[in-house]
Every structure is written in C-alpha cells, then in structure tokens.
C-alpha cells in the first residue's frame, strides 16, 4: 500500500498557507516576547496602545476594528490596559451607551520605547530575508489583508 506522502499530489501540511502563516506568527510572537521591554505587554495590547496614539480617542468597538480584534478580545485588552494605567475611559457625550478610550500620560510615555521595540521585532522577525525579499513579503501580506 502506498503511503499518503508517496501519492501523486499528496497534501503536505508544511506547504499550506495557513500552517506557514501560523508558524510565522508564532515566530513573530516569540520574538516580540523576548524583545519588548515589558514582559506583561502582549502583541494585542501593543497594537491597541499604538493605534490609540495614532488616532487619539476612540470607542472600544472602533479600536477593535482598527486593530483586527473581535469584541471579546478588545474588551479584555482594554480592561488590562486600564488596570495598568495606560488607558482611561470617559463617557461619550454623543452616546451615553458608549465610552471613549484614550492613552493616559503613563501610556503616552511608553510610545517612544514601544516604537523602537516594535521596529526591532520586525527586523528580527524578517532577519532571514534580504532587503528586497522583506519589501516583497510585506507588500504581499498587505494584499492578503
């Protein structure tokens, strides 16, 4: 009997886009954890802080959409950032059901270090690639999103 890997057109997990993207994500996350100066800061929290810095005050829902997080994830991220004193909320004057989030002075003070750390994570993650391969890879990923 032929083994599956010997059949013509065998399906190889190691060649599938989802598997490869998951492995690349695991690599990037591991590099993030060893590079970023705050061991309690997660990649999703990092994204939220950076996006609040870029955009200013946002609703939790809007922040979640901008950072590609589902409602449950962004809720937990915002709760943890608030508990750490990086983010604060205030009632939205136009919609009492909603709160607006913004960085605190403590959260804003993190930005310079976070940007340096974030660039280092990208550089280390893409280290196996040439400069041209990096540009191509990032352009292709942007087309997929």
- Written as six digits, the tokens of 57 are 């005050």
pLDDT at position 140 is 97
- Whole-number pLDDT of residue 8: 62
How is the chain split into domains, by residue range?
Answer: 40-144
Q: CATH number of 40-144: 3.30.1360.180, 3.30.70.20, 3.40.50.300, 1.10.10.10?
A: 1.10.10.10
pTM: 0.87
Q: pLDDT tens digits, residue range 17-52?
A: 999 999 999 999 999 999 998 989 999 999 999 999
pLDDT in tens, 42-96: 999 999 999 999 999 999 999 999 999 999 999 999 999 999 999 999 999 989 8
Q: Which of 119, 49, 43, 114 is nearest to 84 (CA)?
A: 49
- Distances in Å between the Cα of 45 and the Cα atoms of 29, 71, 124 are 13, 14, 20
CA distance 86 to 52: 10
């Amino acid at each position: 009997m032929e083994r599956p890997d010997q059949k013509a057109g065998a399906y190889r997990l190691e060649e599938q886009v989802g598997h490869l993207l998951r492995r690349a994500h695991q690599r990037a996350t591991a590099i993030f954890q060893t590079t970023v100066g705050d061991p309690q800061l997660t990649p999703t929290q990092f994204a939220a802080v950076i996006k609040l810095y870029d955009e200013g005050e946002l609703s939790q829902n809007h922040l979640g959409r901008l950072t590609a997080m589902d409602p449950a994830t962004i809720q937990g991220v915002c709760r943890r950032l608030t508990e750490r004193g990086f983010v604060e909320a205030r009632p939205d004057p136009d919609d009492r059901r909603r709160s607006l989030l913004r960085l605190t002075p403590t959260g804003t003070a993190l930005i310079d270090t976070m940007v340096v750390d974030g660039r280092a994570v990208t550089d280390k993650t893409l280290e196996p690639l040439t400069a041209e391969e990096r540009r191509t890879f990032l352009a292709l990923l942007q087309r997929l999103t």
